């Protein structure tokens, strides 16, 4: 039976995916409590811009809060569904001294929310995980049953979050559902992510730097599809389970650069750099379980999604001089 929340908690609400999810929920008359700590992985100004449209809704309230240290009891107590998207993102920055931030924001924060959920019983706790938990998978498309082999500290912390969800479901009955997102893109994408960098370079007429040979492939997933999957998980996900969320558009970075060049109307200049630690060669999602149990299937093709992100960037970046 589908669960339709009246009031939803969205952590990481000022982020890329969180702001889109909040808009979708509000558009259907669901009250949203948004939470964000404005951590320093990218600028506060861009995160505030992500919230600009969301804040105009009467059903939206926002709290600036650090989930790893501040009180979360009332947030969970007053919510029908928890969408836990807040995290320290990114593979490449997760090494070295910054790893402490990943532990705090990805592991401790998740554990504290789950502890609160044991006392306040939300109808569903949806956890945003990542394809990074697979590392370099042994088979493609990769099913949820594949052995997790994270290839970065970031992937380790996201898998830790999944394991915590499983433990709190098994021991306390918290109705958790974990979603492994594959390479999400679209308007408002984080500035450190490939398509944001490529689209900005295309608009501004600057060279693109690519780590590796550009032949690495990703299963790119448009943000609107991720929002639909998240809501489907809240409505009809099976408690305690994990689902892949992929876009079905596994292509190489070189191909995407060609597509962006076509949108810009010129060939883009590319400089190749050595591979970065933590990066994997390929990703690809087996989404049969999500289709069968969530009724989810991605509906946005790569060309359509890239156009949406490119047009968003063209409105906000400095265009190249004619």
Sequence-ordered alpha helix ranges (H) in 174-222:
194-204
Place of tokens 């600028």: 43
> Are 181 and 227 in contact, with CB atoms under 8 Å apart?
no
Cβ contacts of 163 within 8 Å, gap of 6 or more: none
Closest Cα partner for 192 from 236, 154, 242? 154
Is-catalytic flag, 243? no
First and final C-alpha spacing in the chain: 57
Q: Pairing relation of β-strands 250-252 and 184-185? A: unpaired
Phi, psi of 273 (to 5 degrees): -115, 165
Helix (H, G, I), strand (E, B) or coil at 38: coil
The one catalytic residue in 134, 154, 168, 243 is 154
Return the SS3 of 273.
strand
> At what angle are helices 16-27 and 223-236 packed, to 10 degrees?
60
β-partners of residue 181 are 130, 245
CA-CA-CA-CA dihedral for 134, 137, 138, 143, to nearest 10: 60
Active site residues: 154
């Amino acid at each position: 039976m589908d669960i339709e929340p009246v009031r939803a908690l969205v952590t990481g609400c000022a982020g890329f995916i969180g702001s889109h999810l909040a808009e979708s929920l509000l558009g259907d008359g669901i009250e949203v409590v948004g939470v964000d700590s404005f951590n320093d992985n990218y600028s506060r100004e861009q995160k505030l811009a992500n919230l600009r449209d969301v804040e105009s809704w009467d059903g939206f309230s926002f709290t600036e809060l650090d989930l790893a240290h501040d009180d979360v009891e009332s947030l969970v107590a007053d919510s029908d569904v928890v969408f836990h998207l807040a995290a320290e993102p990114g593979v490449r920055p997760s090494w070295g001294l910054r790893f402490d931030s990943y532990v705090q924001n990805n592991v401790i924060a998740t554990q504290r929310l789950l502890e609160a959920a044991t006392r306040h019983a939300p109808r569903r706790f949806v956890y945003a995980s990542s394809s990074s938990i697979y590392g370099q998978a042994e088979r493609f498309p990769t099913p949820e049953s594949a052995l997790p082999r994270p290839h970065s500290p970031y992937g380790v912390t996201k898998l830790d979050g999944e394991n915590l969800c499983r433990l709190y479901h098994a021991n306390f009955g918290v109705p958790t559902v974990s979603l492994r997102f594959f390479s999400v893109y679209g308007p408002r994408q984080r500035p450190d992510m490939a398509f944001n960098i490529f689209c900005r370079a295309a608009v501004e007429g600057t060279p693109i730097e690519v780590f590796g040979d550009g032949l690495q492939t990703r299963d790119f997933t448009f943000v609107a599809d991720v929002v639909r999957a998240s809501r489907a998980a809240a409505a009809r996900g099976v408690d305690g389970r994990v689902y892949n969320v992929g876009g079905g558009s596994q292509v190489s970075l070189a191909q995407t650069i060609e597509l962006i060049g076509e949108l810009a109307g010129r060939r883009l200049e590319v400089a190749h750099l050595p591979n970065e630690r933590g990066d994997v060669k390929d990703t690809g999602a087996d989404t049969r379980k999500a289709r069968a149990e969530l009724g989810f299937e991605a509906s946005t093709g790569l060309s359509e999604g890239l156009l949406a992100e490119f047009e968003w960037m063209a409105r906000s970046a400095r265009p190249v001089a004619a």
